[in-house]
Structure 1
Amino acid sequence: MLSLAGSGRERGMALLASLLFLLLLTMIGLTSMQNATLQEKMTGSLVQHHRAFQAAETALRLGESQVHEGVLRWPVCAVPAQCAPPADAPLVDAAGLNEASGVRWIATADGFYAVQNLGVVEDVIGLPEGVPATLYRVTAIGLSGQARSVLESIYAKY
C-alpha cells in the first residue's frame, strides 16, 4: 500500500517552482525583445546615414559636373570670408543665397550643393608647370530622415 505521509508539506512546491521558472523565462524574453528593438533602431539609423551620404555624394558629383561643363558661372570670391568653407552647411534647409557667406545653395533630389570660385592659381599638382587653373570648392549636403552628411571637394578646371 502507498503511503502519502509527508505529502502535505510538499503541496504547492511544484507550482511555486513552475511559477519561478516561468518568471525567469519571461524576463529573458523581455530582455531579448528590448535588445532586438534597440538593434532595429540602430540599423535604421545606419541606413539613414548611408542614404544621406549617398545623397551628398550625388549632389557633390552634380556640382562638379556643373563646374566641368561650364553651364553656370560663379563669380570669384569678393572677400576672404566668402572663400572660407561655408559654415552654414550643417544648417541649410532650403535653396538660395546665404547673404553672410555669399554661397548660393542649389537644391537636388535629396539635398543641396554650392560652388565657390576660389580664383586662378598656377602650379597645380598634376598639371604642367605654368598652366593656370581655376579652383572651385564644391560643398554638398545629403539629407535622409534625421541624418545629414556634408561632403566637400576642390575642383581644378584648366
Structure 2
Amino acid sequence: MRRQRGIVLLTGLLLSLLVGLLAASALQDALRLARSTAQLVISAQALEQAEATLLEGRDRLLRAPPGPCAPPCAPPVEAHDVRGSSASWQRAEQGFFLLQNLGETTQAVHVPEGVAVRVFRVTAVSQHSTARHVLEAVYAVETGQATNVQRLLWRQRLREQ
C-alpha cells in the first residue's frame, strides 16, 4: 500500500511539472505575440505618418514650388536617415518631406499628349525612427495652372541592407 502511494505521488508531481511547463510555454507564446502585435501597430502608425506627410508635401508644392534641381536629380539615398542628410528636408507635423522639381515635359503619363506639365517628386519620411516608412510620389502640375495637381506614380521605399 505504501509503495502505491509513492507512485501516485510521483505521478502527480510529474503531471504538475508537465502542466507547469505547458503553461510557461503558452505564456512565452503570448508574450511573443504581444510584441509582434505592438510592432505591427507601430509600423501601421509610421505608414500613416508618411502618408500624411506626403499629402502635406503635395500641398506645400502648390503654395511654394521649388526651383529646378541640379542633374541628375536622383531620389535621396539617405531617406531613412534624414538627420545626416545633405538634402534640404522640410519639417512637417508628422515627419519630413523633400520637394524636387524634375523639370518640364509634354510626355507625362496620364496627361493628354502635348500638354506641358512640370514634374515634381515628393519624398516623405515618417517621424517614427524605429519603424520608419519612406513614401515617394511624382506629381504633374500643368504649366500656368498651379491648382491642378495630378499624381503620376508613387512607391514605398524600403531600407536597403
- Whether 1:153 aligns to 2:147 is no
Matched-pair contact (CA < 8 Å) for 1:135–1:155: yes
TM-score, with length taken from structure 2: 0.82
Which residue type is aligned with residue 17 of structure 2?
L
Matched-pair contact (CA < 8 Å) for 1:74–1:117: yes
Following TM superposition, by how much is the alpha carbon of 1:75 offset from its aligned partner in structure 2, in angstroms? 1.3
Matched-pair contact (CA < 8 Å) for 1:48–1:145: no
Q: Distance in 1 between matches of 2:111 and 2:3?
A: 96
Over alpha carbons, which structure has the higher Rg?
1
1:4 matched to which residue of 2? none
Following TM superposition, by how much is the alpha carbon of 1:145 offset from its aligned partner in structure 2, in angstroms? 5.7
SS of corresponding position for 1:146: coil
Count of residues in Structure 1 that have an aligned counterpart in Structure 2: 142
For residues 44 and 18 of structure 1, do their structure 2 counterparts lie closer, same or farther at Cα, with a shift above 3 Å needed? same
Following TM superposition, by how much is the alpha carbon of 1:10 offset from its aligned partner in structure 2, in angstroms? 1.9
- Whether 1:75 aligns to 2:63 is no
CA root-mean-square deviation: 1.6
Q: Distance in 1 between matches of 2:129 and 2:81?
A: 15
* Structure 1 residue ranges (4+ consecutive) displaced by more than 4 angstroms after TM superposition: none
Higher relative contact order (CA 8 A, sep 6+): 1
2:126 matched to which residue of 1? 142
Kindly, what percent of the aligned residue pairs are identical? Answer: 35
